[in-house]
């Protein structure tokens, strides 16, 4: 079996042999003069090559995202999308390019339901305009578009352009990889590579010319956007649900139900339920945990409309953490909407948890910083945690952090160490006020434990924390 990289190498050489990649002087659609040109239309004459290209495209799809259909950007990618559709038994949609002149014809051919997520297939991207136009057409018919795959990314800014418009791009190879393969096999020389690199250096800033009223919102950044507006920027169903319920219920409070028995935790959940968007548990401190607890807790979550987060802070290798998540007496995966994890072991932990979620609406929060004094997370570690989440947005829902670690509206920032009465505890916990956590440090959700659980009336205390934290959020978004 050839590895993915070996197959890419093989396909690149075959493309070169049939002039699917050419070197010389070419004028691109944008008007730019390029020393390299891709013409993947030729692959229709080479069915085996066409199939290999389609296979590689499909293999680069994002893990964990369920697509209801595929749509090739007309025309070059149409046959590739067709191969993927037939091989994967996945419905295909066709976007009509000539719709405007015909008027009455459908924009999108094929059957679909509103909200279906359609995966866009494309051969080459420069600025991303063609993918964008296809996404706009699909979205205008009520479809969702979150991802696209391309064979070659010319590395001229398309990925960033499309990310701003809510489409994540993955590519089979980029220009550098392609040049390296061709150079290694003596198909091109250093001079040609130099010419392409010089060209790339001067043509980084491509832009997408947007149509007026295209219905695609460019995000203003997490801190300035409303929870409702942010819900539209993500395809993570759980994040969408949470953001919407926070806006509906007007609360961004999570109560940490750190109590020693399940009875006490359930009683608390019922009392604070009307004031919270999330209840956070540590089930391994309960002396009487039994199967009944998650069932009863989920009933309360339904009654009061909040999500459940088990603060398990997974930190082992992927396979072990996945077993802790799904097997064993707590069977966390069966009942917790969200779990926390340390990014320390690497992305294998995230993908392992995601694999065990098996299609259920689940997600992870990455511990990017901690509230305790002397926490070892450095700025570099925190940045790496954010990068990890960005690479897995279908399962990573956000971060537990003490500062605004991201401006990406798709991710949530939850901040523990919040109290209106205490400054610290005896074991390193450090507190700030809800106003500081939300307004200055950029928290979306404040997590409060003892500030609520030890109050004379937990319900009243939760109401007060929720009121203050939500007011700070409203002030933040202006």
Catalog residues that contact ligand 5BU under the rule CB under 6 A. Answer: 256, 258, 282, 311, 367, 370-371, 400, 416-417, 429, 447-451
Nearer to ligand 5BU, 169 or 370 (CB): 370
How far, in Å, CA of 286 to CA of 262, rounded? Answer: 6
Q: Which residues pair with 386 in a beta bridge?
A: none
Gyration radius (Cα) of the chain, Å: 25
Give the three-class secondary structure for 34: strand
Nearer to ligand 5BU, 219 or 382 (CB): 382
**Strand ranges of the sheet holding 108-109, from the earlier edge strand across to the other edge:** 108-109, 92-95, 69-72, 118-125, 147-153, 168-174
Give yes or no: 189 in active site. Answer: no
For ligand 5BU, which is the closer residue by CB, 23 or 325? Answer: 325
**Minimum gap (Å) between residue 175 Cβ and ligand 5BU:** 41
Is residue 209 within 8 Å of 132, Cβ to Cβ?
no
Residue 437 C-beta: closest distance to ligand 5BU, Å: 11
C-alpha distances in Å from residue 71, one per residue of 59, 94, 167: 16, 6, 14
297, with CB counted inside 10 A (0-12, 13-18, 19+), is: buried
Which C-beta is closer to ligand 5BU: that of 94 or that of 315?
A: 315
Q: Closest approach of Cβ 419 to ligand 5BU, in Å?
A: 6
CA distances from 451 to 393, 425, 468 (A): 32, 11, 13
Angstrom distance (rounded) from CA 368 to CA 402: 8
Strand 33-38 and strand 21-27: pairing?
antiparallel
Q: Which of 10, 313, 334, 425 is catalytic?
A: 313
- Closest to ligand 5BU by CB, 312 or 410: 312
Of 39, 174, 316, 425, which residue is the catalytic one? 316
- CB contact at 8 A, 206 and 158: yes
Q: Between residues 360 and 454, which has the closer beta carbon with respect to ligand 5BU?
A: 454
- For tokens 């489409």, the residue is 167
Query: What is the DSSP code (8-state) at residue 438?
Result: I
Q: What's the CA gap between 221 and 350, in Å, rounded?
A: 25
Please spell the DSSP secondary structure of 245-314, one letter per residue: HHHHHT--EEEE---SSHHHHHHHHHHHGGG-SEEEE-GGG-TT--THHHHHHHHHHHHHT-EEEEEEEE
Residue whose pair of structure tokens reads 């990014």 in the numeric block: 343
Q: What one-character DSSP code corresponds to residue 166?
A: T
Residue 205 DSSP class: -
Q: Which residue is nearest to ligand 5BU (CB)?
A: 449
Note if 214 is an active site residue.
no
Nearer to ligand 5BU, 50 or 412 (CB): 412
Catalytic residues: 313, 316
């Amino acid at each position: 079996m050839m590895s993915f990289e070996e197959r890419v190498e093989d396909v690149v050489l075959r493309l070169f042999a049939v002039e699917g990649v050419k070197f010389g002087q070419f004028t691109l659609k944008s008007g730019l003069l390029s020393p390299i040109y891709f013409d993947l239309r030729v692959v229709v004459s080479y069915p085996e090559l066409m199939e290999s290209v389609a296979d590689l495209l499909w293999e680069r799809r994002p893990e964990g995202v369920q697509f209801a259909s595929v749509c090739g950007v007309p025309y070059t990618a149409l046959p590739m999308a067709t191969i993927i559709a037939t091989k994967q038994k996945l419905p295909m949609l066709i976007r009509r390019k000539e719709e405007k002149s015909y008027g009455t014809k459908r924009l999108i051919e094929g059957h679909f339901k509103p909200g279906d997520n359609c995966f866009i297939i494309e051969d080459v991207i420069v600025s991303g305009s063609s993918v964008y136009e296809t996404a706009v057409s699909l979205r205008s018919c009520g479809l969702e578009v979150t991802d696209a795959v391309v064979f070659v990314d010319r590395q001229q800014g398309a990925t960033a352009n499309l990310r701003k418009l809510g489409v994540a791009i993955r590519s089979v190879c980029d220009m550098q990889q392609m040049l390296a393969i061709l150079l290694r096999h003596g198909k091109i020389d250093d001079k040609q590579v130099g010419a392409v690199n010089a060209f790339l250096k001067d043509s980084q800033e491509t832009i997408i010319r947007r149509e007026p009223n295209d219905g695609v919102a460019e995000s203003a950044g997490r801190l300035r956007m409303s929870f409702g507006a942010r819900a539209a920027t993500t395809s993570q169903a759980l994040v969408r649900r949470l953001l919407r319920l926070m806006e509906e219920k007007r609360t961004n409070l999570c109560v940490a139900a750190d109590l020693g028995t399940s009875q006490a935790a359930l009683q608390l959940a019922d009392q604070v339920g009307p004031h919270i968007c999330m209840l956070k548990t540590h089930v391994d401190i309960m002396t009487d945990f039994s199967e009944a607890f998650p069932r009863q807790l989920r009933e309360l979550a339904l009654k009061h409309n909040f999500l459940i987060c088990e603060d398990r802070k997974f930190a082992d290798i992927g396979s072990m953490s996945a077993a802790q998540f799904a097997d064993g007496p707590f069977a966390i995966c069966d009942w917790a909407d969200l779990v926390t994890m340390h990014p320390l072991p690497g992305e294998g932990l995230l993908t392992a948890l995601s694999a065990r979620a098996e299609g259920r609406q689940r997600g992870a929060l990455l511990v990017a910083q901690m509230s305790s004094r002397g926490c070892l997370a450095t700025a570099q570690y925190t940045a790496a945690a954010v990068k990890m989440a960005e690479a897995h947005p279908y399962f990573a829902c956000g971060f537990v952090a003490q500062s605004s670690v991201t401006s990406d509206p798709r991710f949530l920032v939850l901040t523990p160490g919040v109290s209106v009465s205490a400054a610290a505890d005896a074991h390193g916990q450090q507190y700030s006020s809800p106003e500081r956590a939300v307004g200055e440090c950029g928290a979306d959700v404040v997590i409060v434990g003892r500030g609520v659980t030890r109050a004379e009336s937990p319900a009243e205390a939760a109401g007060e924390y929720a009121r203050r934290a939500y007011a700070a959020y409203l002030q933040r978004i202006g």
